[in-house]
Amino acid sequence: MERESLLTLLVALLSGVAILACGWWPVVQAGGASGRQLERLMWNGFGYQ
């Protein structure tokens, strides 16, 4: 039981770090852009113009 608990804890920690990185990376890529410019950059990343 201990091994499964440790594995569950590690997966939860790593997925939390991955979600944090996915939210942090676009902001760094924008380089201090305003919220409106950041939103436009993200929509362009999805292929919308």
On whether the CB atoms of residues 26 and 40 are closer than 8 A, the answer is no
Q: Taking the model in full, what pTM does it have? A: 0.45
Taking the alpha carbons of 19, 21, 26, 28 in that order, is the dihedral positive or negative? positive
Distance CA 43, CA 45 (A): 5
Give the domain range for residue 36. 2-46
- For residue range 2-46, list pLDDT tens digits in order: 999 999 999 999 998 888 877 777 666 667 778 788 788 778 777
Per-residue pLDDT, 7: 93
Per-residue pLDDT, 11: 92
Residue type (1 letter), 31: G
Per-residue pLDDT, 35: 77
Q: How many CB atoms lie within 10 A of CB 33?
A: 14
The total domain count for the chain is 1
